Amino acid sequence: MRLFEFALLSGVMYGLFYAFVGIGLNLLFGVMRVVNLAHGDLIVFGGYLAYVLENDWHIGPLWAIPISVPMGLVFGYVLYYVTVPRLRRSADTETTSLILFFGISQVLEAIATIVFGANQVTLPSLGAPVSIFGQNYSLSAVVSAGISVPALLLLYAYLYRTRLGLETRAVMADEEEALASGVRVRRVAVTAFMIGVAFAAAAGSLAMFMLGGVNPVTGSQLTVTAFTVIIIGSLGNPLGTAVGGLLYGLAASLTQAYLTEWTGMVPYVLLLIVVLLRPSGLFGKRARIA
Amino acid sequence: MRNYLAKRRMTGVLAASVLAATGLMAGSASAKTLTAKGAPSVITVGTLYASTGAFATSSLPQYAGLQFWAKEVNRAGGVYVKAYKKKIKVSIVALNDESNPATATTLYNQLLTQDNVNVLVSDFGSVLTAPAITLAKNQNKLVFDVSGTGTSFFDNGADPNVILTSLPVSSIWPKPLTSLLLQLKTKRVAILYCQNDFDGAQAQAIKGFLVKGGVTPVYFQGVPTSQTDYSTLLQSIKATNPDAVLELGYPNNDIAFLNELASTGTHFKFALTVFPGQLPALFIKDVGVKALSYTFTYAEPPTVAYNQVNIGLGTTAFQRAFAPADPSSVNFLNVAGYNAGLAVQAALQNATSLSPAGLHAGINAVSGKLRTLEGNFRINNAGAQVGELLPVGQIHPAGNRIAVKIIKPAIAAEIPMVNAKPLYPAPKG
């Protein structure tokens, strides 16, 4: 029973982290139909930023979050104007974006190898373990969950409590109708892109603790995890991403506790089940074929 | 008669033309690679390395060790090749597999079929060595396997296609470890391993030895090699109340496991991971001295020094030559790469031809007689390295470094090192 309790709570903590990892990717896809295969690499660069701050500047790694957010916003702005307008002119935005961002991913991976080397970089634990219900949890996991929740709520507030958020949801629902209704689509798109990249960069410093560190190829694995999470929740729905992350985290944690040999497979079995039973994801809207 | 003579002249002219043409073709071919006496101008050693990915941490230092061997040999005028009775310089043809077994398959094939290298040396570890062994068997070539110890490579009886140069095969590797566990009277042993040839074979071997000694592991589970989250796994292990915990993974797994132990304040009486003994500098950087302290690991050269050698440099001399500025920065994989070069050198010195069979016969001729910086070099008829057993060591803090103190269990009596008593139960770091 104690193991179950631990697996449940640990699964929730990791799930919130995975939701944080996936949320930026989902925003990009929801608004622009851009498949950002470099998402994981952007997270990894956030991780490297935390590493540099701690090792070279002796600044606590959590400061990487407030520092990486404005950096991510600026980088997202530049990346948007370099890539998206051209992508949108292509006949098939999704496929072209897949190829383009695959290339960007490879470039980022190569840059990371040149600058930081091929080895894993890690950070020391944030502090002594935290006892919850009589069991020890890593402080890093607790802090990570504690940061993920307000970050997800912040994005929720943006989408559901601001005018730009309303416009963003309108574009997610139907871009052409939104455009016809006077929604400033380009502004929505560039803002979403900036927020998506900023979220990825911020998730990086948490990845340093939740994944035990990063190396240049961690990004590919994170991109796969992020896609799994957002597909479970539903593409283009940030709320679904939160639920998808939690389900992914719980599935991984409970499998580690009770079906260890299947650890690598069960989260993806969950993905298959969701796709087969609800192709649009748990929170996806069914398409009406007229 | 005139007709007969004319025919003979014509036949002679044709024969001379054919011979001349053959000679010209052979001449143009040999102009690139062969000297006048038919010896290649250079011995090409094909190998792969991983500059990125999960295995880069281990692959790059191994490759650096092999490069160092080539540099040393060439500085001495080349390697003596018995087949041509002369010294020939060595050239390494190295391709980057980026830790990807699929890429490795393509590149090994390229080395064998397009580059036609004289000698093939595999990349680090079982995962990246497996494609080389498959190709070598299919194409009847010989691969010098540096550190791929997976039992499946050597379980088909006599094998002329593979020679394991460094580590003992996984099936005998853990003998000293299990001997120590039995000596310490540990009754409850937990084994967590990664699902790959290297770790899986070791885990099975440990389980087998323990069961033979009357100890059935209380926890025996495999996880993907990509595993980085050990929180719930640690709790599962803790729930079995183990006397000893063995985590068998690659460096990134060991780092994540040890960091999780530290961050959750979990302490076991006996915790062993594989790679701190091989890559101490990396583990000090990524795990820290405190978290490593009093855990156990395998003690490989240069932690264990073999200085009585009859080929190449001894362990201490190698450390000084390889990294004059900081000999202590030399790790096991540097040694393993260099040792693979020495095995190639020994094969060439004794082979009557450069064919796979010739090279294999060359290395067989010195098996059991060769003493390198990794100790006694002996292979069995399956090509598996059986020259030395790997002792177990316990990590002690030594300022901002670590010292691996070797524990000599009964079975490893032949290990000629300073012995230390294990601190068991291990004190908290």
pLDDT higher than 80, residue B125: yes
Could you tell me the maximum CA-CA distance found in chain B, to the nearest angstrom? 105
B255 lies in the same domain as B358: no
Count the neighbouring beta carbons within 10 Å of the beta carbon of residue B137.
Answer: 16
Domains contained in chain B, number: 2
User: What is the domain range of residue B61?
Assistant: 42-167+305-377
Structure pTM?
Answer: 0.84
What's the average model confidence in pLDDT over A162-167?
Answer: 94
Distance between CA atoms of A28 and B369, rounded to whole angstroms? 65
* Candidates A256, A265, A268, partner chain B, best to mutate (most B CBs within 10 A): A256
> Is residue A139 a contact partner of residue B81, using CB atoms and an 8 Å limit?
no
The pLDDT of residue B388 is 84
CATH of the domain at B192: 3.40.50.2300
Distance set, CA B236 to CA A48, A125, A247, B226 (Å): 32, 21, 20, 19
> Is residue B46 a contact partner of residue B120, using CB atoms and an 8 Å limit?
yes
Q: Nearest by CB to B263, which of A6, A125, A256?
A: A125
DSSP string computed for B242-285: -SEEEEE--HHHHHHHHHHHHHTT---SSEEESGGGT-HHHHHH
Distance between CA atoms of B170 and B157, rounded to whole angstroms? 16
Beta-carbon separation of A210 and B53 below 8 A = no
- Residue tagged 């033979």 (tokens): B212
Q: Which residue, among A87, A117, A118, has the nearest Cα to A101 in the 3D structure?
A: A87
B122 lies in the same domain as B237: no
Proportion of chain B above pLDDT 90, given as a percent: 68
How does strand B392-398 pair with strand B401-407?
antiparallel
Q: What does the pLDDT look like over A28-83, one tens digit per residue? A: 888 888 889 999 999 999 999 999 999 999 998 899 999 999 999 999 999 999 99
Query: Which residues have C-beta within 8 Å of that of residue A52, sequence separation ≥ 6?
Result: none
Question: Nearest CA to CA, how far is B124 from chain A (Å)?
Answer: 15
> Is residue A8 a contact partner of residue A231, using CB atoms and an 8 Å limit?
no
First to last CA, chain A: 51
Proportion of chain B above pLDDT 70, given as a percent: 89
- Does B262 touch chain A if contact means CB atoms closer than 8 Å? yes
Residues of A in contact with B233 (CB under 8 A): 256, 260
Distance between CA atoms of B127 and B252, rounded to whole angstroms? 15
B241 lies in the same domain as B319: no
Top-confidence residue, A209 or B160: A209
Distance between CA atoms of A290 and B63, rounded to whole angstroms? 62
What's the average model confidence in pLDDT over B174-178?
Answer: 90
B156 lies in the same domain as B212: no
Residue B35 within any structural domain of the chain: no
If residue B93 lies in a helix (H) or strand (E), which one and from where to where? strand B86-96
B265 lies in the same domain as B334: no
Q: pLDDT-based confidence at B172, cuts 50/70/90?
A: confident
- Does B50 touch chain A if contact means CB atoms closer than 8 Å? yes
> Is residue A281 a contact partner of residue A244, using CB atoms and an 8 Å limit?
yes
Please provide the CATH number assigned to the domain covering A2-277. Answer: 1.10.3470
B285 lies in the same domain as B213: yes
* Candidates A13, A114, A217, partner chain B, best to mutate (most B CBs within 10 A): A217
Q: Three-state SS for A274?
A: helix
